[in-house]
Amino acid sequence: MSKENSINYKYENEILSCESYIKEFTNKIFEEFDSKSEKLKLLSKIDDLFNGKKVNSTEGRAAWHTKIRDEYPSTTSDQKYIELFNSSNNIINIGIGGSFEGPKLLIEAEGNTKKNHIFITGSDYQEFKEKTKLLDPNETIFIVSSKSFKTEETIATLKSAINWSGDMNKFLAITSDKSEAIKYDIKNILEFDKEIGGRYSIWSDISIAARWENNSEYEQNFIMGGKQADKELKEDSRYLRFVKTLSFSDIWLNNHKNKHTRAVLSYVWKFRSFPDYIQQLEMESLGKKSSNLSEFNKTGQTIFGGYGPTAQHSYFQLLHQGTQNICADIITSKENIKSLAYAQAITQAKILSNGADDLLKEEEKINGNVPLNLFILNRINAYTLGYLIATWEHRTFISATMLGINPFDQFGVSAGKIFTKKYLEENGG
């Protein structure tokens, strides 16, 4: 390798460290962005978020995912639902978007689960057929998650599940609209607040399976990690600067360096679905036009990624020697410091940032100069995961404020649902 990494920014606390390798993003540029944030009253808008103001302006709602973290535990689950969970070996989770990505991430992160958890999205009946073909209906319950309980994929799979199971006592609906779930003769229903968006619902009863797996211990630690990030955002100037740096550099790279695409790569097996989760969080929150008052025309970046050890054997060639303007976030952990995965994460960060021009053949040389953030977690546990996700939410909210957009609506997604439903009605679906 031609030279050592040059870190232009580093943040560290007892939970994680973050090293940023983003050339030309100087302290002067940060201060310019920070001055803009003051004019936009960023701190006041953060207060509005936590105080329950209607920050979701287009729908006239608050965004209450932070409230869940602040008030936990506010409620306890009915014992009959716990008994339902304990009665079967197979737990089929039916949902899509936030109702899928969040629970799946938590179950994978928890590891060593007592139950066989299966996640079904539901657009293609073959998915349901293949994932249930070896299961006994008597040993299977269904958790059906949908904020509106009108999502076409979820409802289609629900109907298949009812026909397959034949026992409505084995169904639990989790929704913000109980009246819709009742239409399908579901008797077990948990309702969550309409002011909790789907991609922020991981903190709600949507993730109840993870709670029951470990008698709420894992969930409690997860939520406490998120709550700690909230506390630091409001009270710790170092943490606030850290999250601002992530957000400001995202916007700067996108608008001034034509870095419109970012790879999110987890080198932690238990957090292997974290990139999928973040993809929805960022692209659904920031994938909108900026306000007329914003000086930034380019809003959310295109996010892709996956489990690092797999990803580097599939598409890292493009990052190393391709011509695309890509930046990256890499996640690893000191808990795995002697593992191959940790070595790969550190090595890839160095090569992506600095290149490798000491190789003999011209065709072997690596471009380098890929802007990236290297997140090194001190531990792999529920608390750290909660802290990391909440930090990413804060990063996204600050970006939305700077860009002048509402990160809590998703009318583009809704349009797809409306026109799909219309097509099905017109074509006998």
DSSP 218-256: HHHHHHHHHHHHHHHHHH-HHHHHHHHHHHHHHHHHHHH
The lowest-confidence range among 1-15, 259-273, 334-348 is 1-15
The lowest-confidence range among 48-52, 80-84, 157-161 is 80-84
Q: pLDDT at position 1, please?
A: 38
Q: pLDDT at position 112, please?
A: 84
Nearest to residue 101, comparing CAs of 248, 271, 229, 276?
276
User: Residue 19: pLDDT above 70?
Assistant: yes
Residue type, 278: I
The lowest-confidence range among 76-80, 250-254, 342-346 is 76-80
Could you give the C-alpha distances from 408 to 3, 114, 315, 398, in angstroms and in order? Answer: 43, 35, 32, 13
Distance of CA 42 to the CA centre of its chain: 23
First-to-last C-alpha distance (Å) of the chain: 58
Report the share of the chain in percent with pLDDT over 70. Answer: 91
Angle at the Cα of 203 (from 201 to 207), degrees rounded to 5? 80
Nearest to residue 105, comparing CAs of 92, 90, 117?
117
State the sign of the Cα–Cα–Cα–Cα dihedral 345, 349, 352, 356.
Answer: negative
Q: What average pLDDT does the chain have?
A: 90
* Distance from C-alpha of 76 to C-alpha of 72, rounded to nearest angstrom: 10
Task: Identify the CATH assignment for 9-55+221-411 out of 3.40.50.10490, 1.10.357.10, 1.20.1250.20, 3.40.50.620.
Answer: 3.40.50.10490
Give the contacts of 419 (CB within 8 A, at least 6 positions apart): none
* Distance from C-alpha of 115 to C-alpha of 112, rounded to nearest angstrom: 9
Q: What is the CA radius of gyration of the chain?
A: 22
User: Residue 429: pLDDT above 80?
Assistant: no
Which helix (H) or strand (E) segment holds residue 182: the answer is helix 178-182
Return residue ranges of the chain for CATH 3.40.50.10490. Answer: 9-55+221-411, 74-215
Which helix (H) or strand (E) segment holds residue 265: the answer is strand 261-266
The lowest-confidence range among 220-229, 285-294, 394-403 is 285-294
User: Phi and psi of 280, rounded to 5°?
Assistant: -70, -45
* Distance from C-alpha of 61 to C-alpha of 32, rounded to nearest angstrom: 32
How much is the pTM? 0.93
Report the share of the chain in percent with pLDDT over 90. Answer: 71
Q: pLDDT at position 398, please?
A: 98
| Mean pLDDT, range 330-353, rounded to an integer | 93
* Distance from C-alpha of 139 to C-alpha of 87, rounded to nearest angstrom: 8
Q: pLDDT at position 3, please?
A: 47
Q: pLDDT at position 355, please?
A: 67
- List beta partners, residue 172: 143, 188
pLDDT digits (tens, 9 = 90+) for 89-138: 999 999 999 899 999 999 999 988 999 999 999 888 999 999 999 999 99
Q: Which CATH class is domain 74-215?
A: alpha beta
Q: pLDDT at position 322, please?
A: 74
pLDDT digits (tens, 9 = 90+) for 314-330: 887 777 777 778 999 99
Q: Can you tell me whether residue 326 is helix, strand or coil?
A: strand
User: Residue 285: pLDDT above 60?
Assistant: yes
Helices (H) and strands (E) in the chain, counts: 17, 11
| Mean pLDDT, range 196-214, rounded to an integer | 90
- Take residue 397 and report the two structure tokens written for it: 């909210």
Give the contacts of 404 (CB within 8 A, at least 6 positions apart): 40, 290, 291, 292, 293, 294
The lowest-confidence range among 78-82, 209-213, 251-255, 419-423 is 419-423
Which pairing describes strands 9-12 and 326-333: parallel, antiparallel, or unpaired?
Answer: unpaired
Which pairing describes strands 171-175 and 188-191: parallel, antiparallel, or unpaired?
Answer: parallel
User: Residue 4: pLDDT above 60?
Assistant: no
Q: pLDDT at position 425, please?
A: 61
User: Residue 419: pLDDT above 70?
Assistant: no
pLDDT band at 2; cut points 50, 70, 90:
very low
pLDDT band at 75; cut points 50, 70, 90:
low
Nearest to residue 306, comparing CAs of 275, 331, 282?
275
Nearest to residue 142, comparing CAs of 188, 182, 110?
188
